Structure 1
Amino acid sequence: MATTPRRPVNPMDAAEALFKPTKKPAAPAVEKRAVPEAKELVSIKLDSAVIEYFQDDGPGWQDRINDALRAVMLENPKD
């Protein structure tokens, strides 16, 4: 009577068994409601000249970038 070994004999099979992804149950989707006009922390890459332009006027440069982007957004509404 032939039975399969409990542990892999082949080293490659043993390595693949160790790193085989385990299936985790999916977490239930939770919808977070954003507070109107809340600011969100993001990472964005901007040209050095753009950052320097807004930083030249001192503190509040991130708010000025936000205001400039908002102005563009309001001038070009999406349907």
Structure 2
Amino acid sequence: MELSVEEKWKLAKTERRKSSAVAAESGARERRPRRAAGCSFARRCASLVKEQRARFYIMRRCVVMLICWREMA
């Protein structure tokens, strides 16, 4: 059974949540200083922005390709 892109994305998202829950249970977050948590938040936001920008780029390329293909047909 092959997963669609959307299902893979949801699966990866749930895996990230599970790994962060395990880290929280082990007390790893309590040992970190306050500033480190802020840095990780900024890093997380930056990675999400980068991921969304990549998705938007791919969607834009697909739309352009479909429009060009439609005009040629």
Higher gyration radius (CA)? 1
Q: Which is helix-richer, 1 or 2?
A: 2
TM-score by length of 2: 0.28
TM-score normalised by L of structure 1? 0.26
